[in-house]
Each structure stands twice: as structure tokens, then as C-alpha cells.
Structure 1
């Protein structure tokens, strides 16, 4: 039997117009559902603060050494559950919940402009949409240059691409917390399966 996989899923605290943050509500619902016997799931709420993200993410990667870290954020513009392909390093000018923004306006001073996830988000999207879950999934290349994008880039940088970001719409627009949690569960399990299969392929190539 495969050893247990460790997965961390995060949501964000309330900010701006989002007095209730759908991302954290959905992640808490996901925790109730679980990811099955062989997945050790840890959830945590992320403050909407640049400096808190810089402190929290390295400690999560170091403490749990997860196979995958998935960040969930809310987007007032989203009407689907949206998989983000990449995180961006520059353009952070919007003030956080502490009225702070990085002087450099970037995540990592020496980091690349953009880091992509090791996951094939198009493939994940296609598989989940074909499963008749009742929740529509789409793909995006722009996580918005605020705490969502900032968190994603930082996590991709620390985890060498073994990270994902999922934007969810506000609650009831159109999905309930339970529906969002079911969608998150299907997406994360699909991501884990894809990672496992790509590892198998790599091993096969080495053996040739």
C-alpha cells in the first residue's frame, strides 16, 4: 500500500467586501469530507497580510513537507471554480488588511517573473468537468496581483511548483459551501492522481 500523502489546503480570512470569506468556509467543509484514508489533510486559515504569508508558508512547507499545497481564495468576479496555472512576482501595490504593501512590490526580489505549477491544470479541469459534479471548473493565468497571487507565487517558489491555487466565487453565487467543498475534493484528488502518474512515467523513462 502507498504511504500516506500529506496535503495542506488553505483558505483566507475575511477582507474588503468579503465579510465571510467563501474560501475558508469551503475549506472547512472540505476538512469534514476528508480526502480518503491515504491522505493526511491539514487545513489552515491564511491572514490577508503580505508579511504573515512570508512567515506562515515557509513554516508550513518545513513542518509538514507536503506532497501538495493547495491554496483557495475568493474572487468576487468568479462564477466558476477557477484553477490558476501560475503565480506572479511583481505588481503588488494593493494594501492588505494591515494597510501594508511590500516596498519592492514583489514577492521574491531575486525570483523569476512567473512560476507555473507542475500540475497540468487544463487536464485537471477537463477531468473534473467530465465527472458531472454539478460545479463548473475553468482555468486562468492571472490570480489577480493581490494576496491570492502573492501566496501562490510564494508557495510555488518554496515548493518547487508542487502547489496549486483555486479561486472560488462568493457563497451562493452560485454555489453553496458544500458544493464548493465537493468540487475542491474532486480537484485535489485529481491533482494527486496526476502527480502520482507523472512520477511513474518519469521512473519508466529512467529505466529505459
Structure 2
């Protein structure tokens, strides 16, 4: 099973973005050759309403990852936040100098989209590994929200799933990278077990 995890570059008053370091660690310390159950891809996204959306759409169309997990910085957060909903709205000034106030992510899209990964399972998984984690109702209206909305749309087009994880500024990125690697393996094992079960049912009814 292929999984795509994305992070963002620094933005605004934030000199660094821990999700940039996160994807760097995942791409070097947890290379695809080390995966037992699938392939892990990573991508650093620009903090740009238009370019982040375009990159996610391109990656989804090219690789068809079964799971897309976008990550981004929420500097004021005190814990990891597993987001449940993306709204069809964009607001704020991005790194391209574009300032939006109430613009749509997709002019023809739904007002909101639920994350399609099992948010409770991800939250519990991270918490069990000592990372303080909460469920959050929606991802705001900045580029992180645009990423989640786009990922749900793009992955949904071929039956994939998508979600978003906001991280605080002081997150232990090495611990988070290790936990997410384990989560990728666990999700891959679940997917493989599901495929095996479906194949077994098919063989008994054919």
C-alpha cells in the first residue's frame, strides 16, 4: 500500500516549520526500501493556496496513494490535532503574496468535506505512543485547510483516503516520524488483511 505524507515550508512569522523536518526525516530514515508493507512517499508543499492544491492533485493523479496524510504547523497548538473537516473556504496571506478572504477552494465543490481516514484510530495510535493528541473539528481556512480539502477530493476520485495532522511548534519530530512510520505499517497490514479476506470470500462463492 502506498502512503503519501506531506509537510509545509515555513510561513509568516515562523522561521521554521516542524513538518518540513518531519518529511525530511521520513524520507531519509524511513526510506521506501525499509518498508515491510508498502511504500512511503513524502513531499514538501509550498505555503501557497494555488500551488499546494496543484501539487497534491498532481501527486494523487500520478501515484494513486491509498492514503494521503498532510501535515502542517499550528504554532499555538498544545497537542497534535487530527483534523476532521475541511471547509470550502480560503483566507489569509500565503507565501506567494496572495491574500484571500472567503475565497473558495473549489468553486463547484461541497461546502465541507470530512477526512476519510479513520481519525479516531490515528489519534489513538499516536496517543498510545506517548504523543499528546486530540481530534479537531476543522482545519481552519489557511493553506492547511486547502491541502486537506484537495487531498480528500483527489484521493476520493480513485477510492483513496485522506486526512490532516496539525502539529505544535515544539513537537518532537523524531518521535512523531517514528510513530507515523509505525502507523503506515499498521495501515498497510490492515489493508493487506482486508484484501486477503475479500479474496477468500470471492474464492468460496465463485
What residue is the counterpart of 2:97 in the other structure?
Answer: 99
Secondary structure class of the residue paired with 2:52: helix
Does residue 39 of the first structure (1) align with residue 38 of the second (2)? Answer: yes
* RMSD of equivalent CA atoms: 2.6
Separation in 2, partners of 1:189, 1:80: 23
Counterpart selection for 2:25 from 14, 24, 29: 29
Separation in 2, partners of 1:128, 1:48: 26
Does residue 72 of the first structure (1) align with residue 71 of the second (2)? Answer: yes
Could you tell me whether the CA contact under 8 Å between 1:50 and 1:101 is conserved in 2?
Answer: no
Q: Measured at CA, do residues 126 and 54 of structure 1 come closer, stay the same or move farther in structure 2, by a change above 3 Å?
A: closer
Gaps of 5+ in 1: none
**Superposition map of 1:53-68 within 5 A:** 53-68=52-67
Secondary structure class of the residue paired with 1:83: strand
Separation in 2, partners of 1:205, 1:75: 45
TM-score, with length taken from structure 2: 0.83
Task: After TM superposition, give the deviation of residue 41 of structure 1 in Å.
Answer: 1.4
Task: After TM superposition, give the deviation of residue 182 of structure 1 in Å.
Answer: 1.8
Secondary structure class of the residue paired with 2:92: coil
Gaps of 5+ in 2: none
Task: After TM superposition, give the deviation of residue 197 of structure 1 in Å.
Answer: 6.1
Could you tell me whether the CA contact under 8 Å between 1:82 and 1:140 is conserved in 2?
Answer: yes
Work out the number of aligned pairs and report it.
Answer: 198
Does residue 146 of the first structure (1) align with residue 136 of the second (2)? Answer: no
Counterpart selection for 2:174 from 166, 173, 178: 178
Separation in 2, partners of 1:197, 1:119: 17
Task: After TM superposition, give the deviation of residue 204 of structure 1 in Å.
Answer: 8.9
Task: After TM superposition, give the deviation of residue 30 of structure 1 in Å.
Answer: 2.0
Render the CA deviation track for 1:124-168: whole Å, top value 9, x for unaligned: 3224423xx222222111212100001110111111161111111
Secondary structure class of the residue paired with 2:103: coil
Bigger proportion of residues as strand: 2
Counterpart selection for 1:156 from 142, 149, 152: 152
Could you tell me whether the CA contact under 8 Å between 1:22 and 1:74 is conserved in 2?
Answer: yes
Separation in 2, partners of 1:89, 1:7: 24
Instruction: Name whichever of 149-158 and 192-201 sits farther off.
Output: 192-201
Bigger proportion of residues as helix: 2
Separation in 2, partners of 1:96, 1:178: 27
